[in-house]
Amino acid sequence: MRPLLCVFLLMFGWQLLSAQDENKPCKCCNEAYRQFDFWVGDWETYNADGKIVGTNHIKILQDSCVIQENWSSSGGAFTGTSYNFYDANTKQWHQTWVDNQGGNLQLSGHWTDSTMVMYSRPAVDPQGKNYLNRITWTPFPNGNVQQLWEVSNDYGSTWSVLFNGLYKLKEQ
């Protein structure tokens, strides 16, 4: 009788805990955490000349608290992953990018008007020159997204384009 009682208590206790988890409010489901959801999807990415330069699979993880990017260049020689999240304390978005070439980039920023804009901290290139990165994501009414990556060597007075990509959702 005792083994049967133990099994019953374990099953009942598990169901009770599961029910409590289902009733738990989603901590990352408010409007601020959803500002970058326009970028979620399976994309083909084109350069300014209209040539496909890669694919990107972007998904939501961790109970809607993280957006993960998985980039692969055409041919697959260059791959990378970013983790994007909203910090309610600072009211800023953050991105941490790492790639298969040993590169990394950390950005912070916010949703402004109709774009997501993130900046790196000042950094120094191998030639000893200071620079900043700025990446802007702009969603369009047709569902496409522009990603504009710029760099500044004068602390943001002027900017040069490093990458201007157009994301188009893959055909299902």
Is 47 a domain residue?
yes
Is 24 a domain residue?
no
Number of domains composing the chain? 1
pTM attached to this predicted model: 0.84
Is 123 a domain residue?
yes
Residue 15 is predicted with a pLDDT of: 52
Pairing of the two strands 52-61 and 41-46? antiparallel
pLDDT interval class at 5 (50, 70, 90)? very low
Domain holding 112: CATH number? 2.40.128.20
Residue 151 is predicted with a pLDDT of: 97
Is 1 a domain residue?
no
Is 136 a domain residue?
yes
CA–CA separation, 157 and 161 (whole Å): 14
Is 23 a domain residue?
no
Is 44 a domain residue?
yes
Residue-range definition of the domain harbouring residue 135: 31-169
CA–CA separation, 74 and 55 (whole Å): 7
How confident is the model over 82-111, as pLDDT tens digits? 999 999 999 999 999 999 999 999 999 999
